[in-house]
Chains A and B, each alone.
Chain A
Amino acid sequence: MGKDGFIGSLEELVLLALARVHARGDDEAAYGMTVRRELEERAGRDVSIGAVYSTLDRMEAKGLVRSRLADPDPARGGRPRRYFSLTEEGVAAVGQARSMRDRLWDGLEGALDYPG
């Protein structure tokens, strides 16, 4: 979280994508590439794996997510997966971001004409 307690938009997107993967009930599914895929399929954002890790790493430093390394996986060339999950602060941060957005949107329905 920034000094002001808000998160940036890419951080918000990554947190939401991570939450969506988790919401599907499979803890073993939440790692960098699935988050990236979720962002691409759901939000239409083609984000590089480097940027995803960079964001996750930064959010881990801020205490918004945590990660653990699994055992090496032969199917991945003997490399481990790094699973991510939201912390309470992370959940609070996306919630706060949403309510901030909602407050800003409040009363704008019908006033703004936007595509899609």
Chain B
Amino acid sequence: MTRRPPGVPRVFEALLGIALPPEEQGAALGDLAEEFRRIHAESGPGAARRWYRRQVLSSLRTTVERRWWRHRRGFSGPAEAFSEQGGGRMEGMGRDVRYAVRSLFGQPSYLVIAVLTLGAGIGGTAALWSVIHDTLLKPLPYADDGQLVVLWDQYSWRAPELLHMRDRWDGFDGASGYTTASVTFRLPDGPTSQFNSTLASAELFDVLGTRPLLGRGFEPGDDAPGAAPVVVLGHEVWQNDLGSDPNVLGRIVVIDGEPRTVVGVMPRGFFFPERGYSVFLPGPIDPENSSGRWSVVARLPEGRAIADMAPVLDHVTTELGANFEYPSRQWDRTEGAELFPLRDEIVGDVRTALWLTLGAVGLILAMAVANVSALALSRTRARRQELAIRIALGAGRGRIGRQLLVESTVVGLLAGIVGVAFAAGAFQGIVGALPLTRELSMGLGVDWRIFGAAFGLALLVSLAVGSAPILNFLRAGPRGGLSSSRRVVTSGGVLERGLVVFEMALAVILITGAGLMLRSVDALYDVDPGFEPEGLLKVTVTMGQLDFPDAERGMALEALGDRLEAVPGVQSAAAVQVPPLWGAGWNFGLAIEGREPINRSTLYRFVTEGYFANAGVDVIEGREFEATDEPGSTVVTVVNQAFVREYFADEEVLGARIDPGLGSGWATVVGVVEDEALTGLREPVGPARYVLGRQFSWVPENHTFLIRTSLDPVETLAGPVRAAVREFDPRVAVSDLESMDAAFERALGRTGQMVHLLTALGLLGLVLGAVGVYGVLNHFVTRRTREWGVRLALGQSPARVIRHIMGGAGRLVGFGVALGLIGAWFGSRALSAVLFGIAPTDATSFAGGAIVLTLVGLLAAALPARRAATVDPVISLHSEG
């Protein structure tokens, strides 16, 4: 039994125990323990422990090193200086570092290329990994979020269904309905702002398993119509708008014009269903309102997965089928029952794009590594003679190996610093360039743990990169080095060439990918959006329900439009319920007079007078809304060309009557307008109808004004527009002020956003590829200076020398390009989700990538080749290169 004397610092004892050779553990640790007791008795426990720790720490290095040498040689050490304490040992290390730095700075081009390429690759990878970690991998702010699912048919469940199912979600650990809305928010005496809010049934916070930071969540009954109006605030609202008031519970805030009592505050970082949703309202779930606007989130019982839930879903559909009628197949809730992980709903289809980008950055990192490896190999090869001489003069091989290792470490440290600086500095830029929605990019920050890891990665990579030539050198031994200086070198360089081929291949993949993206964006720009985005400023206004009664909002919007037109610089202004390119928005069922009910919903838009002329949407037939279309006069509607193609291909549409489904009775079609890209650029325009808001007793609280101006940039108007709205009525909230051009750019979607990043990465890849080819061929040519001299001296023409070198380079480049095309052919499939208008195997992009890389590769080779051809035979024969 081993018994330690009291008080020996155990961690330190264990540490040294691990480091010591087993056969020496007993004696050394025993000595330390004995001495520890002596000092303990003489000077007290504190002094003894300090002494012990110091002994262990200063013994560790010698001990580890001794084991290493013992392992290699069977005894302790190569030279005494290594095992001496303090000065001698550190001086040796200091010398090595000084030597490494001198040697590296002697060849600044190598140092700069190595540090910058490695740094950029590592920094980029780290930054992207931060983003991916935050968006895709980090747990959501809910208990056990893997068990949360969303039920099929989002934003289409009706209140009666929710109420009926409320106590019948057997097989789930709870379920809650929710939907979202844009609301106005103000303190009773404060200015109005617009917030995204989540409306949910009372069960929401229980299902999510998140407890409020202050107060309570929702209670049963909170979500019934007519219940006392309460609100739970998100942390940001509490912090920013209520000054983190600790006595916030019971305070009144006005939401959509309705005073509500604050009953709870959620913890920092909580969001639902997306980031940026910061106001949580209970319901109301009105059994009288059967519009389908709800989603359902549910919790799977512990240990159950989505795949296990089929019987439970059967039960749900049976229950729904028995109690509700679904005449329209499109909304038949007994069909297509399915569960989706909540995370997928939150992250959306960003996943593919993010991994793709990380893949591209990873390729850059791989290229950087290959590049620096090739350069390091060439460098060591070129230095072989120097190293061999040093060995012959008595320098230990271990010592030289160590110096080479120190060089790699210095490169790694510098690359790490550059990488961390790059990632930190460019982080916001990178996030901005990523295909993230605004909600997803909220709260993204630099994750310093990942940057720590990046720094470690930089060191590891550069050590790995540096170790290849070291091993290569140590294996070959000094003899190879010395003798090689006396003859023409014909061998070697296979590894370098392999690396260059690899690098060229990666560059081709990147450039081809960038080409595919560029061609897609080109195709998207060619799509006619059906309106004129240039010179339009867009601004969303929200008129809270209680501030502006339903019947007044339509007229209030017209009046606000008039006020905006009075702002200097404004040519015209008109509002639409949902701006173009925004997404589907609302759609309702459609009935056409004299026909069977159409079981498909159709897009519709409330607008104000003058909308089409203002937006630049051409009237094809009939007329647009006019001043004579008064409230109370004949209700009129305007449809788009897609609507005519779909429903009136063989009939006259003007004068036909359709039911807008808003309780207004029939509306007469008075005009047909050009297909405006309502939902986005990538999808074909669907049938749509427009109605004039002022003719209806109800219009939505949100509208977007499109303001046409000759001012440039259109954002100049932002301030005056805000002022005009405030002056019109301070209860109107203003949000999402931006140019329509910006909205158009965003509508290019992930393709548009990724194209910049991928193009930049492609260009970086191109530069890296060129540097790689140049660097390796340059060394190749320099090493064989004597050979060129001999060839020229023997009468070979310079042109033939050039041909010889270019032939070699051509094979290298050609091989790399061919490999790259094969890689790109497989890789482009991953891109297909973000491509538009072209096939993933688009010949133009592939040919472009191949041609560009071949040209760049040959150009990079031409410089060293020209140098070889101009070698002076006499000088070269004297040279030892």
Q: Give the B-binding residues of A (Cβ under 8 A).
A: 2, 7-11, 31-33, 36-37, 45-51, 53-55, 57-58, 61-62, 69, 72-82
Contact = CB atoms under 8 A, between A and B. Distances in A.
B2 A77 contact: yes
A61 B31 contact: no
Contacts of B80: 2, 7-11, 55, 58
Interface string B26-45: 11111111110100000000
Given A51-B84, A58-B83, A76 B33 contact: yes
Closest 7 CB pairs of A and B: A50-B59, A79-B30, A8-B80, A82-B27, A61-B75, A33-B31, A48-B58
A57 B24 contact: yes
Contact of A58 (B2, B60, B77): B77
A77 B59 contact: no
B55 interface: yes
Given A53-B28, A76-B30, A78-B1, 11 more contacts: A8-B79, A10-B85, A31-B27, A48-B58, A50-B60, A58-B66, A69-B27, A75-B5, A77-B5, A79-B27, A80-B30
Given A49-B28, A54-B77, A69-B27, A33 B35 contact: yes
A31 B77 CA distance: 21
27 contacts: A8-B84, A10-B83, A33-B31, A48-B54, A48-B62, A49-B28, A49-B31, A49-B55, A50-B60, A51-B83, A53-B27, A53-B28, A54-B83, A55-B83, A57-B24, A57-B75, A58-B77, A61-B74, A61-B76, A62-B75, A77-B33, A78-B2, A79-B29, A80-B26, A80-B30, A82-B24, A82-B26
B37 to A, nearest CB: 8
B138 interface: no
Given A53-B24, A55-B83, A57-B66, A81 B31 contact: yes
A77 B77 contact: no
B4 interface: yes
A49 B83 contact: no
B214 to A, nearest CB: 56
Contact of A50 (B5, B62, B75, B77): B62
A37 to B, nearest CB: 7
A50 B35 contact: no
B841 interface: no
Most buried by A among B27, B60, B61, B63: B27
A81 B221 CA distance: 80
A57 B79 CA distance: 13
B27 A80 contact: yes
B595 interface: no
Contacts of A31: 27, 31
Contacts of B27: 31-32, 53, 69, 79-82
Nearest to A37: B35
B449 interface: no
A58 B2 CA distance: 28
Interface string B736-751: 0000000000000000
Contacts of A75: 5, 34, 37
A80 B2 CA distance: 11
A57 B77 CA distance: 9
Contacts of A62: 75
Contacts of A61: 74-76
Most buried by B among A55, A57, A74, A76: A76
A57 B66 CA distance: 9
B194 to A, nearest CB: 69
Contacts of A78: 1-3
Contacts of B34: 33, 75-76
Nearest to A11: B80
Interface in B47-69: 54-55, 58-63, 66
B81 interface: yes
B717 to A, nearest CB: 75
A79 B32 CA distance: 11
Contacts of A37: 35
A47 B32 CA distance: 13
B76 A57 contact: yes
Nearest to B26: A79
B84 A10 contact: yes
Most buried by A among B3, B8, B37: B3
A58 B254 CA distance: 84
Contacts of A69: 26-27
A54 B2 contact: no
B84 to A, nearest CB: 5
B32 A33 contact: yes
Most buried by A among B1, B76, B77, B79: B76
A31 B35 CA distance: 12
Nearest to B79: A8
Nearest to B24: A53
Contacts of B31: 31-33, 36, 49, 76, 81
A12 B530 CA distance: 94
A77 B83 contact: no
A33 B468 CA distance: 42
A19 B26 CA distance: 23
Contacts of A48: 54-55, 58-59, 62, 85
Contacts of A45: 85
A26 to B, nearest CB: 15
Nearest to B57: A48
B272 to A, nearest CB: 58
B81 to A, nearest CB: 7
B58 to A, nearest CB: 4
Given A10-B83, A61-B76, A78-B1, A50 B29 contact: no
A25 to B, nearest CB: 20
Contacts of B4: 77
Given A53-B28, A81-B31, A8 B81 contact: yes
Contacts of A49: 28, 31-32, 55, 59
A105 B575 CA distance: 103
A5 to B, nearest CB: 14
A2 B77 CA distance: 11
Interface in B587-606: none
Contacts of A79: 2, 26-27, 29-30, 33
B29 A77 contact: yes
Nearest to A70: B27
Contacts of B66: 50, 54, 57-58
A15 B65 CA distance: 22
A72 to B, nearest CB: 8
Most buried by B among A54, A75, A81: A54
Nearest to A50: B59
Contact of B75 (A11, A47, A58): A58
Contact of B3 (A10, A36, A53, A74): A74
A72 B33 CA distance: 13
Contacts of B37: 75
Nearest to A47: B85
B30 A77 contact: yes
Contact of B63 (A54, A58, A82): A54
B63 A50 contact: yes
A10 B63 CA distance: 16
B132 to A, nearest CB: 45
A5 B179 CA distance: 89
Most buried by A among B31, B61, B74: B31
Nearest to A13: B84
Most buried by B among A53, A57, A58: A53
A39 to B, nearest CB: 10
Contacts of B28: 32, 49-50, 53
A56 B456 CA distance: 37
Contacts of B85: 10, 45-48, 51
Nearest to A7: B80
A81 B85 CA distance: 23
Contacts of A51: 58-59, 62, 83-85
Contacts of B55: 48-50
A62 B58 CA distance: 24
